[in-house]
């Protein structure tokens, strides 16, 4: 009888001990999960702040095109750096602009009476080294070279399908600055070479009276 009571007490204490151990383990696991959740909260907040600043469409676009923004900025920079040519017939000079700054200026010969240089907005449509020239009236062809009436370079910006007008050199420096041409803009050979090196096909040309 005594032996049976002793065994029953041992079993009862084992049950209490098991229950206490189970409660302790449950308590530790619960606290550990709470601690982990708290430690992740700042990271979650940072992510939400970042997401609120960038729309899902922007995030997708940037992920697919990470360098697009840089390319657009570069492209815009290239466009604004391109030169513009302003021809002032009244003072017989050509000005090269980059944005709003004059970076070069050269004297020019302009069209004579009856052959006035056309005014307006144009674009460079033809460029040539050492051009030959056909006289618009006689049809005589002058070969390319330093003594050619077109000099060392040709920069064409106007045509009616038959006649052509543009910047070109001349072997006769004394005519530069005077109304002597058939509409073209004559320049000293070193000047037209310099202008040629600053422009390209499509460069804007504004001719003003």
Q: Which residues neighbour 68 within 8 Å (Cβ) at sequence distance 6 or greater? A: 61, 62
Give the integer Cα–Cα distance in Å for 40 and 56: 23
Please calculate the CA angle 85-94-145 and round it to the nearest 5 degrees. 100
Q: Active-site residue 15, yes or no? A: no
Catalytic residue among 26, 38, 129, 184: 184
Q: Cβ distance 141 to 132 under 8 Å?
A: yes
Q: Cβ distance 162 to 180 under 8 Å?
A: no
Catalytic residue among 38, 126, 164, 168: 168
- Residue 174: CB atoms within 10 A of its CB come to 9
Q: Which residues neighbour 123 within 8 Å (Cβ) at sequence distance 6 or greater? A: 157, 201, 202, 203, 204, 205
Torsion sign over Cα 19, 21, 27, 32: negative
For 112, the token pair is 């004579």
Q: Active-site residue 168, yes or no? A: yes
Question: Which residues are known catalytic residues?
Answer: 168, 184
């Amino acid at each position: 009888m005594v032996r049976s009571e002793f065994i029953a007490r041992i079993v009862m204490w084992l049950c209490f001990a098991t229950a206490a151990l189970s409660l302790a383990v449950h308590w530790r696991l619960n606290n550990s999960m709470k601690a982990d959740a708290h430690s992740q909260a700042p990271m979650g907040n940072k992510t939400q702040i970042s997401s609120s600043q960038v729309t899902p469409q922007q995030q997708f676009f940037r992920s697919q095109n990470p360098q697009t923004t840089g390319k657009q900025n570069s492209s815009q920079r290239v466009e604004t750096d391109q030169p513009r040519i302003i021809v002032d017939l009244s003072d017989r000079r050509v000005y090269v602009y980059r944005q709003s700054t004059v970076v070069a200026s050269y004297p020019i010969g302009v069209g004579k009476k009856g052959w006035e240089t056309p005014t307006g907005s144009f674009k460079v449509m033809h460029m040539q080294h050492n051009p030959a020239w056909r006289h618009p009236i006689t049809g005589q062809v002058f070969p390319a070279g330093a003594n050619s009436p077109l000099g060392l370079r040709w920069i064409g910006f106007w045509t009616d399908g038959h006649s052509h007008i543009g910047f070109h050199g001349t072997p006769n420096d004394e005519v530069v600055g005077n109304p002597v041409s058939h509409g073209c803009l004559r320049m000293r050979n070193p000047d037209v070479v310099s202008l040629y090196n600053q422009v390209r096909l499509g460069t804007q040309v504004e001719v003003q009276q």
